[in-house]
Amino acid sequence: MALTELHLHLEGTVDRETVMLLDPCVTREEVDRVWAFGDFPGFLNCFKFIAQRLRGPADYAFITRRMIESLAAQGVEYAEVTLAAGVILWRGFAFDQIWRAIRQAQREAEGEFPVRIWWNLDAIRQFGPDHVMEVARLASNYVGDGAISFGIGGDEVGGPALLCREAYRYAKDSGLRLTAHAGETDGPDSIRAAIDIGAERIGHGIRAAEDPDLMRLLRDRQIPLEVCITSNVRTGAVASLANHPVRQLFDAGVPITLNTDDPGVFETDLTREFAIARREFGFSEEELLAIQKQADRSRFRQPS
Ligand SMILES: [Zn+2]
């Protein structure tokens, strides 16, 4: 079946081989060490290691091209991809030049492969409301030019969603859809806060499983979770694969989608995530098809 990916970070598509192509000075030993993490700080370190090797527009174009090739190879035909716009600003790059390079690479690759990409621009939540607003304003410049949504990522505990209310209102008024990472490293209240400021989909949201009332709310309001099983295991968000609540969420009627988050970092792809759901959690072919259909319903851009 044609697949849809709704939670995918461009920078997180960079795998060990790609990072060595980006920076020939990096050794295999160094890369293996960085990739051998087993907790959230180790994951953030790996993401940072990659981000530091993206040195300008050409590198962003290069990884965009490789990402689209990889999506096509997996049978993904539609993806909403997060670009860490906040990181680009923080590093002092001219955002527009990077955006132009990414969009050009996207146009070329989309001409060759049956993949369609839209962009989610996200801010670093723990940098505070002013930074989040700055990214919202930046993102609003690209409505109609590939940007479809706005979101927040980073440290959930250190950057409460409620502080981002004004930025979310601004982004929405600018024509952007809204998503937010929540309920990954923090609990149900973080998910409630994300919904409260207007998030239409929740990145991860797995800790909703701790709160039956919240699961009912997600079900009744049809707010989808972007579930990323391997990511949660690798970052230690769940104690083990067997402890992942994907089945519990699905059985409670919560709208769930399956995603990779950072396939290069976690060494997975979307086909593999579906295979894990089948093998480890007993999802039938019909249920997996229902999950894929949920992803299509949850797209911010519907086929015209
Ligand atoms: Zn993510």
| Structural domains present in the chain | 3-296 (3.20.20.140)
Separation of CA 14 and ligand 1 centre (Å) = 14
203 CA to middle of ligand 1, Å?
A: 6
CA-closest candidate to residue 302, choices 47, 4, 101: 4
- Rounded to the nearest angstrom, the distance between the alpha carbon of 289 and the centre of ligand 1 is 23
Per-position pLDDT tens, the chain of length 304: 799 999 999 999 999 999 999 999 999 999 999 999 999 999 999 999 999 999 999 999 999 999 999 999 999 999 999 999 999 999 999 999 999 999 999 999 999 999 999 999 999 999 999 999 999 999 999 999 999 999 999 999 999 999 999 999 999 999 999 999 999 999 999 999 999 999 999 999 999 999 999 999 999 999 999 999 999 999 999 999 999 999 999 999 999 999 999 999 999 999 999 999 999 999 999 999 999 999 999 999 998 7
Beta carbons within 10 angstroms of residue 284's beta carbon: 9
* Spacing, Cα 6 to ligand 1 middle (Å): 10
Tell me what pLDDT residue 217 has. Answer: 98
Q: Structure tokens of 248? A: 């519990």
Residue type present at position 294: Q
Please say whether the beta carbons of 85 and 51 come within 8 A. no
Q: Sign of torsion, CA 21 27 30 35?
A: positive
Confidence at residue 303, expressed as pLDDT on a 0 to 100 scale: 86
pLDDT score for 113: 98
Q: How many whole angstroms from 41 Cα to the centroid of ligand 1?
A: 14
Q: Quick check: is 200 catalytic? A: no
Q: Which two tokens stand for residue 191?
A: 């998910």
Give the per-residue pLDDT at 149. 98
User: How far is 15 from 301, CA to CA, in rounded Å?
Assistant: 28
Its pTM stands at 0.97
Instruction: Give the Cα separation of 56 and 49 in Å (integer).
Output: 15
Q: Which of 184, 200, 226, 273 is catalytic?
A: 184
Task: For residue 191, report the distance from its CA to the centre of ligand 1, in Å.
Answer: 14
CA of 216 to the centre of ligand 1 (A): 24
